Amino acid sequence: MTDSEKIVITVESDLEDLVPEFIEHKRENAEEILGCLQKGDYEKITMFGHRMKGAGAGYGFDFITEMGKVIEQGGKDRNDEQIKKSVDDLVAYLGRVEVVYE
């Protein structure tokens, strides 16, 4: 799998109107986390991670739940490198994801 390949995610059609907003939120979250990282606000980073963890798979995005866990732990550990890497992975994932509604 190369970076340019799409990742196809199937989501229930009744969530169709929610998903684009959800993905957009995650992009914003990624920016916010990087902002927090500059300010050293790890508490907020932990919170963002926790929310991602609790929401991702509910929408069908297990990867986002996984990233949420790593970011939450990174925030707790104040591990800048881990946080930054996870955010990069998240942004890359969001760029490649293609949602199919069924």
Partner 1 sequence: MELLEFLDSNTLDNLSKDIADKFNLFISKHYDIPFTIVDRDGKKIISSSEKKWGGFNLSDSVRNDLDSGKQYALEKKNGSIYELIIGLRVDGSNKGFLSCEIDFSDKTFLQFSGHSEESTKETMVEMIVAYVSRCCAFFEEQENLKKCETRVKHSENALDVLRDHHQEIAVENIRQQEELENKNVQLQEKQAQLEDYGRNLEKKVKERTKELLKQKERAEEADKLKSQLLANMSHEIRTPLNVIIGFVDLVLSDELSDNHRNYLEKVKRNGALLLALINDILDLSKIEANQVKVEKIPVDLENLCEEIYSNMNTLILQKGKNIEVRKNFCPETKNYILTDPVRLQQVITNLIGNAVKFTDTGFIELGTSLPKGDHLLFHVKDSGIGIPDDKQDMVFQTFQQADMSTTRKYGGTGLGLAISRKLVELMGGKMWLESKEGEGTVFYFTHPLKVHSSPALLKQGNAKKETPEKEVLEEGVVKERRILIAEDSPDNQLLAERILTKYGYEVFLANDGREAVKFFKEKRAKIDLILMDIQMPNMGGLEATGIIRDMEEKKNLRKIPIIALTANAMKEDMEKYLAGGCDDFVAKPINRKLLLSTIKNYLK
Residue 28 binding partner 1, by CB under 8 A: no
Q: Where are the beta strands (DSSP E) in the chain?
A: 7-11, 97-101
Cβ closer to partner 1: 3 or 74?
74
Q: Which of 7, 34, 47, 91 binds partner 1 (CB under 8 A)?
A: 47
What number of CA atoms fall less than 13 Å from residue 23's CA on the CB side? 19
Q: Report DSSP letters for 71-94, one per residue.
A: HHHHHHHT-HHHHHHHHHHHHHHH
Residue 98 binding partner 1, by CB under 8 A: no
Which residues contact partner 1 by CB under 8 A?
Answer: 10, 12, 14-15, 18, 21-22, 25, 47, 50-51, 53-60, 62, 65, 102
